[in-house]
């Protein structure tokens, strides 16, 4: 078994050392607050009066010659002054037999035996013993990075994106500081099986979610990164019904909010969350910005009625104690690789207290101002000003790096990823990057290689992450969601840039995203949107019309169909669509709205052109719009009426089958018993049928009644044709009586040293 001590900071290593000696000696070991220890990291008593001392040196990457030199110059005098009856020395460094002999000789007579000297090999050997696993598990980072746990984590990740995600999470875990929020998040997951981390950007939602996910993956849960693909999650749920699975969704809804609600994915999301809540073998961790979740609740009655906010865990900076903040700051400093000349600026006059107590303290800001790769270009004498500027103006946190430490080509890859809704395949990014270089005024700067392969390596791990999603396929996502916030806030007035980004991407995703941004108020004002739409029409219109790319043209028109400069071309496109031979597409809802708006200028001879657009409609908004359109234009087309009847029956059948109506089948059990150990039920099928009909009547409220009559839709007949017995049987196959769970979520002990901030930062 191998343990990676490099992931621990010096304070964590001292705690580990004390725990090991306590177990070996079976004596209580006293530990003291961090800080100047006078050579004492732990103390134990031999009899009543003889004092034993433990000293830990976390010098894992320090040459042995430097270690022995420091012991001679700094530690020896301390030990002589303490004059302990027994002295135990622990280091994370590998030690040879000769090394131990030299250390024993140096500390004679206080080190009684070489067995009182513990090096890397001794620690690994001790911790690998089965009886000592409790010590390992109490030390989160050590446990997570052990070879056996890493094997378990990686082997349990669903292949593809999930495997890549969990590796990235594990690689960043060494900077994590366990705070009270970690314990609260675990408690919510244990009690509810679902937790939605919310809070403002940079508060640490993703970091907390990542490490909770890592915790459960280390406990044997399969890890599934679903990226809001609820259908994928539902499929995995069914395939692995009896297995422990942790579902993970970072930036829940995000910029897809309007798409989720318009396409009725909100009902699937709510249903899936409630399904996980009822299954103790599953866990679901989500993160969401507070503003996005608030908007979702204001727009979606399904979110309101689904009570999913009961799972919310709102992270606030105010929830972090000053000691929590001190741990976060110290951990980042320890692992920062910053030169001492920079760290001196933080320690000078105890300035770390200024950072900890700043009103804008934020884990993301701490990560930035302690990242040697991002601040290395700043002269040491300017470093403190940089920290304060970042704290005073957190919205500019990406500005310096994005605008001063990258070039136009790296920025281009970032722009393209942002406007492709935050993720893009490598093939798409390569193609759109090459197009962008040809149509946008890009400053190529020096003579270095600007090929896609060269530039993507510069962008990866600073602005973008490259994830493997298949054997030979890769996908790029933003290094951090705040990059999108920065780009959208800083470049929203540059209509030419945005136009050229969309031209380069040339896909429906980017136009959808642009539409969503205007709806979310992301600083793309109406005049800019008009200019962008005009620019895109000039660039795409003739080609897309010749290609009969109807969906693309529908979305392009839907951006702003009140724009006088594009209206004539929209009319031309609609007339071409109406006259086309069997046109097809998937954007019925937007098309019907545009047609209704342009109806005075557009003459409908017949409605054959709608047939293929209607064929595969499965969302509620499109159905409602179709019914209203049929009524408004008094459509008698038998094929369309038949399609409408089939679609409404299929749609209602699917929501009944998926139980999106939240029918409580358990209310309809008259008797539940176990003859010979097998459960049987006496089910009131008539009661279930009545509840289904009542729920559907309520659900259809707002649908165009005259069209329902015209297509001869009969609710009673529809419900009577449902296979209610099969639906009930599926439910009861997994049904168990809801007994009260007697569960102890676990106890975590720890001290809160409110007055120990100076001690945490005290240098030896």
The reply to whether 529 falls in a domain is no
More confident residue, 260 or 596: 596
More confident residue, 338 or 317: 338
CATH number at residue 271: 3.40.50.300
pLDDT of residue 740: 38
Whether residue 443 is found in the same domain as residue 297: no
Chosen domain end from 354, 375, 396: 396
Whether residue 298 is found in the same domain as residue 199: yes
Whether residue 125 is found in the same domain as residue 176: no
Whether residue 376 is found in the same domain as residue 475: no
Query: Is-contact 304 266, C-beta < 8 A?
Result: no
Q: Predicted confidence band at 264 (pLDDT cuts at 50, 70, 90)?
A: low
Q: Which residues are CB-neighbours of 685 under 8 A, at least 6 positions away?
A: 668, 724, 725, 728
Whether residue 75 is found in the same domain as residue 15: yes
Range of the domain at 415: 398-513
Chosen domain end from 287, 318, 349: 318
| Token pair listed for 280 | 């103790």
The reply to whether 601 falls in a domain is no
Backbone angles phi, psi at 688, to 5 degrees: -65, -45
Q: Is residue 638 over pLDDT 90?
A: yes
The reply to whether 569 falls in a domain is no
Q: Predicted confidence band at 35 (pLDDT cuts at 50, 70, 90)?
A: very low
Whether residue 236 is found in the same domain as residue 311: yes
Q: Is residue 742 over pLDDT 70?
A: no
Gap between the Cα atoms of 52 and 29, Å rounded: 9
Whether residue 279 is found in the same domain as residue 416: no
Q: Render pLDDT for 428-452 as a digit per residue (tens, 0 to 9).
A: 999 999 999 999 988 877 677 889 9
**Given strand 473-478, what is the order of strands in its sheet?**
423-425, 473-478, 464-470
pLDDT of residue 744: 34
Q: Render pLDDT for 193-251 as a digit per residue (tens, 0 to 9).
A: 888 887 766 677 888 888 898 888 888 888 888 765 566 777 777 777 778 888 888 77
The reply to whether 592 falls in a domain is no
The reply to whether 575 falls in a domain is no
pLDDT of residue 555: 94
Q: Average pLDDT, stretch 310-314? A: 69
Q: Average pLDDT, stretch 631-654? A: 92
Q: Render pLDDT for 251-260 as a digit per residue (tens, 0 to 9).
A: 766 544 444 4
The reply to whether 99 falls in a domain is yes
Query: Is-contact 463 407, C-beta < 8 A?
Result: no
Query: Is-contact 742 676, C-beta < 8 A?
Result: no
Whether residue 358 is found in the same domain as residue 278: no
pLDDT of residue 481: 72
Burial class (CB in 10 A: 0-12, 13-18, 19+), 240: middle
Q: Average pLDDT, stretch 385-401? A: 80
The reply to whether 553 falls in a domain is no
Secondary structure letter of residue 741 according to DSSP? P
Whether residue 347 is found in the same domain as residue 421: no
Q: Which residues are CB-neighbours of 46 under 8 A, at least 6 positions away?
A: 52, 85, 86
Q: Is residue 594 over pLDDT 60?
A: yes
Lookup result for tokens 């031309």: 572
pLDDT of residue 746: 34
Whether residue 464 is found in the same domain as residue 497: yes
Whether residue 240 is found in the same domain as residue 335: no
Q: Predicted confidence band at 318 (pLDDT cuts at 50, 70, 90)?
A: low
Whether residue 451 is found in the same domain as residue 331: no
pLDDT of residue 748: 32
Per the structure, the count of domains in the chain is 5
Q: Predicted confidence band at 97 (pLDDT cuts at 50, 70, 90)?
A: very high
Q: Predicted confidence band at 358 (pLDDT cuts at 50, 70, 90)?
A: confident
Q: Is residue 639 over pLDDT 70?
A: yes
- Between 252-261, 456-465, 523-532, 556-565, the lowest mean confidence (pLDDT) is in 252-261
Chosen domain end from 294, 318, 342: 318
Q: Average pLDDT, stretch 287-309? A: 63
The reply to whether 335 falls in a domain is yes
Q: Predicted confidence band at 739 (pLDDT cuts at 50, 70, 90)?
A: very low
Gap between the Cα atoms of 262 and 547, Å rounded: 27
pTM of the model: 0.61
């Amino acid at each position: 078994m191998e343990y990676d001590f490099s992931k621990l900071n010096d304070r964590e290593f001292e705690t580990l050392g004390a725990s090991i000696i306590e177990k070996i000696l079976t004596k209580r070991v006293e530990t003291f607050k961090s800080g100047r220890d006078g050579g004492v990291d732990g103390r134990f008593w031999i009899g009543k009066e003889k004092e034993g001392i433990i000293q830990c040196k976390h010098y894992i990457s320090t040459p042995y010659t430097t270690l022995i030199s420091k012991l001679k110059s700094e530690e020896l005098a301390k030990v002589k002054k303490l004059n302990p009856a027994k002295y135990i020395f622990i280091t994370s460094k590998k030690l040879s037999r000769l090394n131990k002999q030299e250390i024993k000789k140096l500390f004679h007579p206080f080190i009684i035996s070489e067995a009182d000297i513990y090096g890397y090999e001794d620690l690994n050997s001790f911790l690998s013993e089965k009886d000592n696993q409790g010590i390992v598990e109490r030390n989160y980072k050590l446990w997570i990075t052990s070879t056996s746990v890493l094997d378990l984590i990686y082997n349990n990740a669903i292949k593809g994106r999930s495997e890549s995600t969990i590796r990235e999470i594990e690689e960043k875990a060494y900077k994590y500081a366990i705070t009270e929020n970690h314990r609260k998040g675990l408690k919510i997951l244990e009690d509810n099986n679902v937790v939605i981390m919310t809070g403002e950007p940079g508060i640490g939602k993703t970091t907390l979610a990542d490490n909770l996910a890592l915790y459960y993956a280390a406990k044997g849960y399969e890890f599934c990164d679903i990226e809001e693909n609820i259908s994928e999650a539902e499929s995995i749920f069914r395939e692995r019904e009896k297995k422990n699975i942790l579902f993970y969704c970072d930036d829940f809804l995000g910029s897809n909010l309007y798409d989720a609600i318009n396409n009725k994915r909100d009902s699937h999301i709510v249903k899936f969350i409630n399904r996980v809540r009822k299954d103790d073998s599953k866990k679901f961790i989500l993160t969401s910005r507070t503003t996005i979740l608030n908007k979702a609740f204001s727009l979606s009655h399904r979110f309101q009625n689904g009570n999913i906010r009961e799972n919310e865990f709102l992270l606030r900076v105010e929830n972090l104690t000053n000691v929590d903040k001190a741990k976060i700051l110290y951990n980042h400093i320890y692992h920062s690789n910053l030169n001492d000349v920079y760290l001196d600026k933080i320690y000078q006059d105890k300035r770390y207290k200024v950072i900890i107590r700043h009103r804008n303290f934020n884990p993301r800001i701490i990560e930035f101002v302690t990242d040697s790769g991002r601040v290395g270009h700043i002269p040491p004498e300017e470093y403190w000003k940089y920290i304060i500027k970042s704290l005073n103006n957190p919205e500019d946190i990406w500005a310096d790096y994005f605008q001063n430490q990258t070039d136009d080509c790296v920025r281009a890859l970032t722009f393209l990823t942002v406007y492709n809704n935050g993720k893009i395949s490598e093939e798409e990014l390569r193609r759109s990057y090459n197009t962008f270089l040809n149509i946008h005024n890009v400053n190529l700067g020096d003579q270095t290689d600007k090929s896609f392969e060269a530039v993507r390596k510069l962008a990866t791990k600073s602005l973008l992450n490259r994830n493997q999603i298949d054997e030979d396929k890769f996908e790029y996502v933003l290094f951090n969601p705040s990059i999108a916030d920065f780009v959208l806030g800083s470049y929203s007035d540059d209509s030419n840039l945005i136009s050229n980004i969309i031209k380069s991407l040339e896909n429906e995703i980017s136009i959808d995203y642009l539409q969503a941004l205007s709806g979310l108020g992301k600083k793309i004002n109406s005049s800019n949107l008009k200019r962008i739409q005009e620019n895109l029409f000039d660039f795409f219109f003739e080609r897309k019309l010749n290609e009969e790319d109807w969906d693309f043209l529908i979305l392009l028109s839907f951006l702003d169909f009140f724009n006088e400069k594009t209206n004539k071309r929209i009319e031309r496109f609609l007339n071409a669509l109406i006259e086309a031979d069997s046109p097809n597409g998937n954007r019925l809802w937007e098309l019907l709205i545009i047609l209704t708006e342009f109806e005075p200028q557009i003459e409908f001879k017949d409605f054959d052109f709608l047939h293929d657009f209607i064929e595969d409609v499965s969302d509620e908004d499109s159905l409602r719009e179709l019914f209203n359109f049929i009524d408004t234009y008094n459509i008698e087309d038998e094929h369309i009426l038949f399609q409408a009847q089939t679609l409404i029956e299929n749609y209602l059948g699917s929501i009944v089958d998926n139980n999106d109506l939240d029918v409580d089948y358990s209310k309809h059990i008259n008797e539940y018993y176990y003859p010979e150990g097998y459960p049987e039920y006496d089910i009131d099928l008539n009661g279930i049928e009545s509840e289904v009909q009542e729920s559907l009547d309520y659900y259809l409220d707002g649908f165009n009644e005259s069209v329902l009559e015209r297509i001869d839709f009969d609710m009673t007949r529809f419900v009577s044709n449902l296979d209610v017995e099969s639906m009930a049987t599926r439910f009861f196959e997994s049904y168990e009586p809801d007994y009260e769970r007697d569960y102890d979520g676990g106890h975590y002990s720890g001290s809160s040293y409110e007055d120990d901030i100076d001690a945490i930062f005290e240098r030896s």
